Amino acid sequence: MIPYGKQNISEEDIAAVTEVLRSDYLTQGSKVPEFEQKIAEYCGVPHAVASNSATSALHLACLALGLGQGDVLWTSPITFVASANCALYCGASVDFVDIDPKTRNLCPEKLAEKLAAAKVSGRLPKIVVPVHFCGEPCDMAKIHALSKEYGFKIIEDASHAIGASHQNGKVGNCQFSDITVFSFHPVKIITTAEGGVATTRDVHLANKMAQLRSHGITRQADEMQGKTHGDWYYQQVDLGYNYRMTEMQAALGVSQMRRLDEFVSRRHQLAAQYDDLLANLPVVLPFRQPENRSALHLYPIWVQPEKRKFIFDDLRQNGVGVNVHYIPVHTQPHYRERFGFQAGDFPNAEDYYAGAISLPLYFDLSNEQQKQVVEILKQALQAA
């Protein structure tokens, strides 16, 4: 089966991990700070805080921004559930902003309308989480301008988007947000097996996230109440978690970062080839803004909803491990039951979902495999 996404692990990656296994520190050594430094340098941002997943990084980001009971977080319905669940972990509630049918990202105009209405009803969000779907950057300048007008914080869910850039530099530079989160799950652009990172320009947010990642404990005298007792001393000043990344994961991350641009370039090559190979077929191709550089985590095509299941099953039966990104989060039973969302609440997201199929896209996908995928798709489209 050709999967829809897959990691690439080199001999150098393996050597980097085994070197850590032979060393003194498997956790809390120098590799995590080194990885954080590499991410920060790459993105052009002063601070990066690594954690054991993007899900934990999103949770830490919400906590650091003070999200709690009575607060609301808004995000896109076309995302993985983790973009919304982070608010529920904090005791806050969740609402959604429908997508732009062209970019499939959270629609800035819809956001503006919803904010104007929320201001009247007194239910403005504390945090908005734009998701760079497929690695294609959202219109952050517009969302940022709205955050100034309405006073909300911004967490970019850039789980798909390490290596992407927009008009103002690399995604992760936080020019238009408080915090940006990346994921290093094996299907994403680079991997640490499990892992995530949060970047920020704000030293206080960085310190808070680092503290909460490790039980809410500090060893810095200036963060303590009263005086330190000595070099052994630490204080728990908040309720945190164990969300730490291991040294093996960080070593893999440092090694993978060296090839990040190469990974993204190959994804662009493959996407351009898909664009050509699929040009005359009855499918809608994914959108890319010419002035952005997507990280191209996914290549989702859109087919007629009545035919989607047939085409999906046919591809799977013929060895193409297609997938669907995403089932709109508001239609998940947990969200329906908890908040009363219904089918029809976010029609653009639901229409998009009804026809979406993600084709295989990853560094090691060969041109021959790609042509084979397209041939099988052609036959499926004809038969459907």
Ligand X SMILES: *Cc1c(COP(=O)(O)O)cnc(C)c1O
Q: Which is nearer to ligand X, 124 or 198 (CB)?
A: 198
CB of 339 to ligand X, least distance (A): 19
Tokens of 270: 């493959």
Q: Smaller CB distance to ligand X: residue 175 or 249? A: 249
Q: Provide CB contacts within 8 A for 279, sequence distance 6+.
A: none
**Is 188 tagged catalytic?**
yes
Nearer to ligand X, 90 or 124 (CB): 90
Q: Which of 188, 307, 371, 378 is catalytic?
A: 188
Token pair for 203: 């030293």
Distances (CA, A) of 2 to 239, 365, 370: 44, 8, 9
CB of 36 to ligand X, least distance (A): 16
Residue 5 DSSP class: -
Where along the sequence are the contacts to ligand X (CB under 6 A)?
53-55, 79-80, 82-83, 131, 157, 159-160, 183, 185, 196
Q: Which is nearer to ligand X, 83 or 200 (CB)?
A: 83
Contact 95, 239 (CB under 8 A): no
Query: Looking at the chain, how many residues does it have?
Result: 384
Q: How far is the CB of 325 from ligand X (least distance, A)?
A: 8
Least distance in angstroms from the C-beta of 289 to ligand X: 18
Nearer to ligand X, 129 or 377 (CB): 129
- With vertex at residue 346, the alpha carbon angle to CA 300 and CA 156, rounded to the nearest 5 degrees, is 65
With respect to ligand X, which residue has the nearer C-beta, 80 or 362?
80
Q: Where are the beta strands (DSSP E) in the chain?
A: 47-51, 72-75, 93-96, 127-129, 153-157, 165-166, 169-170, 179-183, 196-200, 217-218, 235-236, 299-302, 356-359
| The residue type at 181 | V
Minimum distance of ligand X from residue 161's CB (angstroms): 9
Burial class (CB in 10 A: 0-12, 13-18, 19+), 291: exposed
Residues near 343 by Cβ (< 8 Å), separated by ≥ 6? 331, 350
Q: Residue 325, SS3?
A: coil
Residue closer to ligand X, measured from CB, 16 or 82: 82
Minimum distance between the CB of residue 58 and ligand X, rounded to whole angstroms? Answer: 7
Cα 33-36-39 angle, rounded to 5 deg:
155
Closer to ligand X by CB, 76 or 255: give it.
76
CA–CA distance, 215 with 212 (Å, rounded to integer): 6
- With b for 16 or more beta-carbon neighbours within 10 A and e for fewer, the 81-109 pattern comes to ebbbbbbbbbebbbbbbbbbeebbbbbbe
What secondary structure does DSSP assign to 94-160, as a single string? EEE-PBPTTT-SBPHHHHHHHHHHHHHHT---SEEE-B-GGG----HHHHHHHHHHHT-EEEEE-TT
* Nearest distance from C-beta of residue 324 to ligand X, angstroms: 13
Output the smallest distance, CB 52 to ligand X, in A: 8
| Active-site residue set | 188
